[in-house]
Chain A
Amino acid sequence: MADQVLDVKGLNCPLPILRAKKTLKDMDMGATLEVIATDPGAVKDFEAFCRTTGNELVESEAGDGQYRFVIKRAS
Chain B
Amino acid sequence: MNAESGTNAKTMSMIVTKGSLDWAYPPFILATTAAAMGLEVTMFFTFYGLSLLKKKLNLQVTTLGNPAMEMPMMGMHMTMPNLVSAVPGVDAAATMMMKNLIKKKGVASIEELREMAVEADVKMIACQMTMDLFEYKIEDMIEGPSLGGAATYIEEATKSDINLFI
Instruction: List residues of chain A with CB under 8 Å of any chain B CB.
Output: 10-15, 17-18, 21-22, 39, 49, 52-53, 75
Query: Chain A: which residue is nearest B116 at the CB level?
Result: A18
Those of B44-102 within 8 Å (CB) of chain A: none
Q: Are A52 and B33 in contact (CB under 8 A)?
A: no
Count A-B pairs with CB separation below 8 Å: 35
**B29 in contact (CB, < 8 A):** yes
Known: A52-B38, A53-B38. A17 touches B33 (CB 8 A): yes
Of A12, A17, A75, the residue contacting B36 (CB under 8 A) is A17
Q: Contact string, B13-43, partner A, CB cutoff 8 A, digits 1/0?
A: 0000000000000000100110011100000
Instruction: List residues of chain B with CB under 8 Å of any chain A CB.
Output: 29, 32-33, 36-38, 105-108, 116
Q: Chain B residues near A49: list those with CB within 8 A.
A: 36-37
How far apart sit A17 and B116, CA to CA, in the bound complex (Å)?
A: 12
How far apart sit A11 and B103, CA to CA, in the bound complex (Å)?
A: 10
Q: Chain B residues near A39: list those with CB within 8 A.
A: 106
Known: A18-B116, A52-B38, A53-B38. A12 touches B105 (CB 8 A): yes
Q: Are A11 and B32 in contact (CB under 8 A)?
A: no
Known: A18-B32, A18-B116. A10 touches B37 (CB 8 A): no
Q: Are B37 and A12 in contact (CB under 8 A)?
A: no
Q: Are A15 and B108 in contact (CB under 8 A)?
A: yes
What is the distance, in angstroms, from A6's C-beta to the closest C-beta of chain B? 14
Query: Chain A: which residue is nearest B39 at the CB level?
Result: A52
Q: Which 8 A-B pairs have the closest CB atoms?
A: A21-B36, A12-B106, A14-B33, A11-B106, A10-B106, A12-B107, A52-B37, A14-B29
Q: Chain B residues near A13: list those with CB within 8 A.
A: 29, 107
Q: Chain A residues near B29: list those with CB within 8 A.
A: 13-14
Q: Are B37 and A14 in contact (CB under 8 A)?
A: no
Q: Chain A residues near B38: list those with CB within 8 A.
A: 52-53, 75
Point out which of A11, A14, A15, A53 has the most chain B C-beta atoms below 10 A from its C-beta.
A14
Query: Chain B: which residue is nearest A20 at the CB level?
Result: B36
How far apart sit A49 and B38, CA to CA, in the bound complex (Å)?
A: 10
